[in-house]
Structure 1
Amino acid sequence: MSQKIPFAIIGTSWITHDYVKCAQATSKFSLRGVYSRTLDSAKDFASRYQSSTNDVALFDSLDKLAADPSISTVYIASPNSLHYTHAHAMLSAGKHVILEKPSTCTSAELTSLFTLAYAQNLILVEAWRHVHETNFLALKAALPNVGRLLGANVNFCQFSSRYDRVLAGETPNVFNLDFGAGALTDLGCYCVAFAVELFGSPVSAQYFPVRIATGADGGGTLLMHYEEEGRTFTVTIVFSKMFFSTAPCEVFGERGTLVVPTVTDIERVEFVDPRVRVGEQGRVTQLGGEKVPFEYNLREEAEVHGSMILERDVEAMRRWEGHSRSVLKVTEGVRRDNGLLFPVERK
């Protein structure tokens, strides 16, 4: 491919390294800039991607990054509470934005960003890696196999080493509401996005959080209720950063059950037919293929993002805008119902 997207990044965590590596593996992107609060940090990040044929500029000023005409696109993976400010600055400067999940703290902020993107004829997209995975698409395509939907369980429980710091009386950023954080915005949003992409927007949602010493949620159970097109069912979502679970995700229907082992990095998709007994659990048919190797676990979403930007695909942007709005409507609503307020909501 002769044309590559010259992009920069804001935020230098592990997820940014993963995205850069996977984006460049698509041959649609070329890293040209790194922003960090210090040039030393930016230099350390960029050192992995500098080469004789690819010069990566270093920035410790957002204004200078915004003003650089050689960069067309910015991937933003800064703390959640800064997503809106950083995205607004880059869109205002005429740059496409790939915004790491969760998009913004409030629906009003998200509306402001999309309004600006459309006015500037730019692409804005939220980086949901899991809903672009090959095996997630296999799961979605297999939904008719279960017949009339009866419900689903979506589980995502990963113990965070930083929870021990909470137990020691500290407030790490990932458990700090002032940074737009908490288990719902870190893990639960994956589950909500998973359900919204499979089943659409729910009629109602209710969250039962487990509050921790920092005031944020360490995990909880979220119910999404559906009543449409003759369907009435509930999706039960369990997520936590306080413990680890190997419970799979399952979609139940009158004809059988679809099973995937995880929300992200799905290794396989299975259909269990309870009426054809092989042992006690019924016959299991594998529907999905092997997952993408872990080192490229963001490549599928980067392929989508690259195509959207190169083709200025506004229709695709509108499609994923709807998904982002639906996810945020759920997470924002249940947070506020439980008094889990971010700084922008306390004014």
Structure 2
Amino acid sequence: MIKLGIIGTNWITQQFVDAVKLSREFDLTSVYSRHDQTAKTFAAKNGAQETFTDLNAFFKNGQFETVYIASPNSLHFEQAQMAIQHNKNVIVEKPAFSTQKQMAKIQALLDANSQVRYFEAARNIHTENFHAIEKKLGELKTVQGAEFTYSKYSSRYDLVLDGEEPNVFSPKYAGGALQDLGVYTVYDAVALFGMPEEAAYYPQLIRTGVDGKGTAILQYPEYNVILNFSKITNSHMTSEIYGLKDLIEIDDAGEINAVIYIDDDHNKQIIGNTIDENPMLPEVEDFAKVINNPKNPQDQRDYDYWRQLSVYVNKLIYNLRQDAHISFVGEKQ
């Protein structure tokens, strides 16, 4: 089994650890948190053997070979860099990094440490339902664009309304809608259609200075792809990929629980309705295959694809932020 260390003890880390237990491919051994009691409580709950409050000690002395990073966005780069320098495989929550410069440094480190594997935890592209979309898209005779929507009201926005600045809505921690739910829609677009020729972002800024919601327009040679995402409103709109008279309908651009093909005569066919016991299980199993089978050609081709896709997504998100003049604390430095 792959020995796993984690950074961060929030709800998404717990969901990842639960997926790890279901996969039976990883063994959680090490927990890092800034707070000793928090680390010990999480470790006791999930069967980890050791805890750390010092990041250097965690990477130097921790009995793990792969680390899952689920800290605030602005901390991802430094922690991933330390992991690679200590020959640890890296699974980093989306968005992996905030700038293209950070991404370039990580890619250079990976090239210099070829035995290390790096994954961005964009769970939607690893699901059976997403693969069903890919397959059906390849069968469409004509493609005329798409609209992807992912909007879920965040309880943290209540704190913003009360005058506070939680991490997910803070420019200090690289927060905002694009840097959160928006990442799923960007992955949908880039994985299915590639990089656009032009891209523009129209955000709705909130009091803290980041985007609470927004719309991005990606221009391709023959069509546009529109991304709608929000952390300050809810939406029950479906997402759609347009053929000529036919289309692919997706219940949710982030969760992707149901995919329907609607033909020219309005007949509906369910092509994807797999609901995993844990939504992070497919990515956990995919990452484990790559780590466990370093000489398997298909697994390594998959890895190379995910790594390149992460670079493209990082570039597009950064360009969208620049288009909307959204910057984070310390970014220019």
Output the TM-score relative to the length of structure 1.
Answer: 0.91
In structure 2, list runs of 5 or more residues that go unmatched: none
Aligned partner of 1:36 in structure 2 is 33
Aligned partner of 1:325 in structure 2 is 311
Q: What is the CA RMSD across the aligned residues, in angstroms?
A: 1.4
Q: Does 1:303 align with 2:322?
A: no
Aligned partner of 1:258 in structure 2 is 248
Aligned-pair CA distance for 1:99: 0.9
Aligned-residue identity in percent? 34
| Cα distance in 2, alignment partners of residues 221 and 265 from structure 1 | 19
Aligned-pair CA distance for 1:82: 0.3
| Cα distance in 2, alignment partners of residues 129 and 290 from structure 1 | 14
Tell me which amino acid in the other structure corresponds to 1:107.
Answer: Q
- Partner of residue 184 from structure 2, selected from 190, 209, 215: 190
Aligned partner of 1:289 in structure 2 is 273
Aligned length: 328
Corresponding residue SS for 1:142: helix
- Partner of residue 45 from structure 2, selected from 41, 44, 48: 48
| Cα distance in 2, alignment partners of residues 92 and 167 from structure 1 | 41
Q: What per-residue deviation string (whole Å, max 9, x for no partner) do you get for residues 65-121 of structure 1?
A: 111263111010111000000011111111111111001011111111121122122
Q: What per-residue deviation string (whole Å, max 9, x for no partner) do you get for residues 308-329 of structure 1?
A: 1112355433211211111111
In structure 1, list runs of 5 or more residues that go unmatched: 277-281
Aligned partner of 1:346 in structure 2 is 332
Tell me which amino acid in the other structure corresponds to 2:249.
Answer: V
| Cα distance in 2, alignment partners of residues 18 and 69 from structure 1 | 22
Corresponding residue SS for 2:24: coil
Corresponding residue SS for 1:218: strand
Tell me which amino acid in the other structure corresponds to 2:30.
Answer: G
Aligned partner of 1:19 in structure 2 is 16
Q: What per-residue deviation string (whole Å, max 9, x for no partner) do you get for residues 223-247 of structure 1?
A: 01112xxxx1101111111110100
- Partner of residue 208 from structure 1, selected from 190, 193, 202: 202
Q: Does 1:101 align with 2:122?
A: no
Contact kept, 8 Å, 1:114 with 1:124, in 2: the verdict is no
Contact kept, 8 Å, 2:30 with 2:62, in 1: the verdict is no
Contact kept, 8 Å, 2:215 with 2:227, in 1: the verdict is yes
Q: Does 1:90 align with 2:93?
A: no
Contact kept, 8 Å, 2:177 with 2:231, in 1: the verdict is yes
Aligned-pair CA distance for 1:160: 1.2
| Cα distance in 2, alignment partners of residues 344 and 214 from structure 1 | 15
Q: What does 1:264-283 align with in structure 2 at a 5 Å threshold?
A: 264-274=254-264, 276=265, 282-283=266-267
Consecutive aligned runs of 4 or more in structure 1 exceeding 6 Å deviation: none
Q: What per-residue deviation string (whole Å, max 9, x for no partner) do you get for residues 160-214 of structure 1?
A: 1222222222222111111011110011111001111111111111000001111
Q: Does 1:71 align with 2:64?
A: yes
| Cα distance in 1, alignment partners of residues 249 and 34 from structure 2 | 43
| Cα distance in 2, alignment partners of residues 163 and 57 from structure 1 | 34
Aligned-pair CA distance for 1:218: 0.5
Aligned partner of 2:6 in structure 1 is 9
Aligned partner of 1:236 in structure 2 is 226
Contact kept, 8 Å, 2:185 with 2:254, in 1: the verdict is no
Q: What does 1:217-236 align with in structure 2 at a 5 Å threshold?
A: 217-227=211-221, 232-236=222-226
